[in-house]
Structures are given as C-alpha cells and as structure tokens.
Amino acid sequence: MNARRSAGDGWRDSAAGPLVRPYAMTRGRTRAAAAELEQDTLVVAVPEPEAREEWDADRERVLELCDRPRSVADLAAALDIPLVVAAVLVSDLLDSGDLSVPLAPPREPDHALLQAVLDGIRRL
C-alpha cells in the first residue's frame, strides 16, 4: 500500500484517499445538532471566546479557516471532507461558542408588507 503521513494531512492513501473514515472525525454522528445549518450558512471564528475548549486538529483547522466568514460548503472543500462531516464539526464549534453565524438566516417574506408596498406602488 502506498500510504503516507504528513503534518495536518492525516493518513492518506494516494489511490484511495483518507484512511480514517469520516465518522471517526465526528465520533459516529451523521447529523449536525444545529438544525438550521445549511451548506451556504456562513460561520466565523469568535475572536477570543471566554473559555476556549481544547479541540482536536480537525476542529482547530476549522477555527483557523474561519478567521473570516466561510460557508459550510467552503470548509468541506478546504478540508477535503464530506459536507455532512463539515456540518457536524461546525455544529460542535457553534455549540461551544467558538464559532458564530455573522448574518441572520433569511426568513420568509412578510406577505402583508409586500402587499402594502404593491398597493402603494399601484396608487402612484
């Protein structure tokens, strides 16, 4: 087998890819605790949380990458991991307060307000 080990890369096989299964990174979880977490949700590292936990290398790498807002999909691509794994890692870091969502998620439009605007435009 043609396996190699390099700092930060983990065990990889040049033909097969990662030798450590993604569920090992998420401790067997396949769903993010944050239900509203989508692939385009932006997250950013909190500059100095009150009590930062000791995280493993994968979570530390997420924090490094999130020095500016990034989407969950961007993180998955940058870390070369499945999207669901990135979502679980991000969810853990959101729960611990090490990451935050800088923008409120879009909400459903207020139909009454839109109707009022449309009526006002028609009166012009």
SS3 readout for 5-53: EECCCEEEECCCEECCCHHHHCCCCCCCCCCCCCCCCEEEECCCCCCCC
Q: For position 77, what pLDDT does the model report?
A: 93
Whether 108 is in a domain gets the answer yes
Whether 65 is in a domain gets the answer yes
Q: How confident is the model at residue 101 (pLDDT cuts 50, 70, 90)?
A: confident
Range of the domain at 62: 27-123
Name the 3-class secondary structure at 70: strand
Find the CATH number of the domain harbouring 114: 1.10.10
Instruction: Give the tokens for residue 26.
Output: 């998420």
Whether 98 is in a domain gets the answer yes
Number of domains in the chain: 1
Q: For position 72, what pLDDT does the model report?
A: 92
Q: For position 47, what pLDDT does the model report?
A: 81
Q: How confident is the model at residue 33 (pLDDT cuts 50, 70, 90)?
A: low
User: What DSSP character marks residue 102?
Assistant: S
Whether 14 is in a domain gets the answer no
Whether 60 is in a domain gets the answer yes
Name the 3-class secondary structure at 4: strand
User: What DSSP character marks residue 67?
Assistant: T
pLDDT tens for residues 41-73?
A: 889 998 876 656 677 788 888 899 999 999 999
Whether 54 is in a domain gets the answer yes
